Structure 1
Amino acid sequence: MKTPPGQCRQCWRHAHDPKAHRHLKPREDCPQCVDHMLNGHGSDLVPKKASSWF
């Protein structure tokens, strides 16, 4: 599963891969997701292609 341009690799994987949170108990927060929400995406964003319509 490839992350689309403009999206964060970690956010995309954790949102679309059922295996990402299997190790968690019900209603338990994912430590990686919490850290990511507090500290931002960093270098995990996939760059977008430059617009070429003009």
Structure 2
Amino acid sequence: MAVPETPPGECPQCWQHAHDRSAHRHLKPREDCPQCVDHMVNGHPYIVPKTSSGWW
């Protein structure tokens, strides 16, 4: 299954890990994903910018 493109306002890594089962397939049961833990501790390094919604 192909992962849809990251929508505006979302973090690409969070989006991929939430919608692509293969991202965590290598983990054992109840094992934390090191990338996700780092993300929770240090925050999002990049957010896809939203497009301007103003009419002016």
TM-score by length of 1: 0.90
- Return the alpha-carbon distance in structure 2 between the equivalents of residues 21 and 49 of structure 1: 31
- Return the alpha-carbon distance in structure 2 between the equivalents of residues 5 and 53 of structure 1: 18
TM-score by length of 2: 0.87
The two structures, once aligned, show a CA RMSD in angstroms of 1.0
Partner of residue 27 from structure 2, selected from 24, 27, 35: 24
Any idea what the Cα deviations from partners look like across 1:4-51, whole Å, max 9, x if unmatched? 0000000000000000000000000000000001000012x1000012
Identical amino acids, percent of aligned pairs? 72
Aligned residues: 53
Which structure has more helix as a fraction of its residues?
1
Partner of residue 49 from structure 1, selected from 24, 48, 51: 51
- Tell me which of the two structures has the higher relative contact order, counting C-alpha pairs closer than 8 angstroms and 6 or more residues apart: 1
